[in-house]
Amino acid sequence: MRQNGPAWADRQNRHEGEGGARGEVDCLLKGPLRVDCVYVDAMLGWLARMLRILFGLSAVYKTELEDSELVTTECLVITRDRELFRRRRGPTILLATEDHVKWIAAFLRLGLKPFEKSACPLCGGQLLEVPCTEAEKAVGHRVLSHVCWRCSSCGRYYWVGSHWRRLLQLVQDAEKTVIQCRGIG
């Protein structure tokens, strides 16, 4: 999925009149949006996990990544570091707010669809549906869920439980959230 700066600006303008404070910017987008290759800055581990599980993005997150690597990659870089954002020439999203719900709202406004595809939140591996009896044996306790998954890379198990309900609530809150984002061509 590729989109350019003006498409972001057009979508953003539709949401400006919904009660958000004008002048306050929650995020900035520079360059063409590309979600096929995403790097998440070291200070955003929570977001990397959410991008994987909510949207199925292959989000590279390593605390040892240096800014010098992030400056030169052609991939989309997501950061809260204003200096890194300024130095980058490639596609970059600067999250200027500390509000996690607005972070998710920004990706919804970009057109990403939650829960259509998920990846392991820890390693980004593909999630394969498995019988919940397999998950129960692996984790050593009963799993009260109608569907379970195993990560093809790290072997961790997942199922629909209270954490899943919190993710659904996060997305619902983000869908209702007014966010001020600006695209920079």
In angstroms, the Cα distances linking 150 to 22, 26, 45, 81 are 45, 35, 21, 34
Q: How many of the other CB atoms lie within 10 Å of CB of 108? A: 18
What does the pLDDT average to over 64-70? 91
Q: For residue 134, what pLDDT is reported?
A: 97
Which residue segment(s) compose the domain that 79 sits in? Answer: 2-184
- Looking at residue 23, what is its pLDDT? 58
pTM: 0.82
**pLDDT over 90 (residue 185):** no
Phi, psi values for residue 82, rounded to 5°: -60, -35
Nearest to 69 by CA among 43, 40, 98: 40
Q: How many domains does the chain have?
A: 1
